[in-house]
Amino acid sequence: MAFLLKHPSHPTAAEIFAAVNRVDPQCSRATTYNNLRDLVQAGLVREVAVEGRSARFDAKGIQHYHFVCDRCGEVEDMDWYDVPWPASSSLGKRVLRESELIFRGLCEKCARRSPFPARPPLTRQAKPKPNFEGKN
């Protein structure tokens, strides 16, 4: 936990283990990973899922969102703002505990290197309604 508080760079579990192991060579990989799991379950640390890459960890106490760069995988903090929760009618019998918003695109450094997006920008399109008569 102390390492995460001092290093807000959203390190991976492997990076955390390597840093902790340099200070305390007796610390095992299993202990590091188990402690991370327990901190996440206790709500003291957030696990940030990064598509196709190792999860990253964040101990920043204030609410915020994340921006994940499609090209370099960098995870950056973004300011919090209110996002409406889904209407209860759309949840059905589900019980919503929390929501997480992750922005994806190119970080400033990667965007300067190449003005073209790593992936085509998302556009909102109406989903085609399924045709249950076997015709599309």
Q: Is the pLDDT of residue 44 over 60?
A: yes
Residues of the chain with CATH 3.30.1490.190: 62-122
Q: How far apart are CA 39 and CA 59, in angstroms?
A: 9
Name the CA dihedral angle for 24, 30, 35, 41, rounded to a multiple of 10 degrees: 170
* pLDDT at 10 > cutoff 70: yes
Given this model, what pLDDT does residue 116 score? 59
In angstroms, rounded to a whole number, what is the distance separating the alpha carbons of residues 47 and 55?
6
- Helix axis angle for 13-23 and 29-41, nearest 10°, is 120
Q: What is the CATH number of domain 1-60?
A: 1.10.10.10
62 pLDDT exceeds 70?
A: yes
Q: Tell me the pLDDT band of 136, cut-offs 50, 70 and 90.
A: very low
The fold adopted by the segment(s) 62-122 is Dna Ligase; domain 1 (3.30.1490)
Q: Which residue has the higher pLDDT, 52 or 68?
A: 68
Query: ∠107-52-80 over CA atoms, to 5°?
Result: 45
Which tens digit of pLDDT belongs to each residue from 84-135?
A: 888 888 888 998 887 788 898 999 999 988 765 555 555 555 555 544 454 4
Q: Where are the beta strands (DSSP E) in the chain?
A: 46-48, 56-58, 65-69, 75-78, 102-105
Residues 18-36 pLDDT 10s: 999 999 999 899 999 999 9
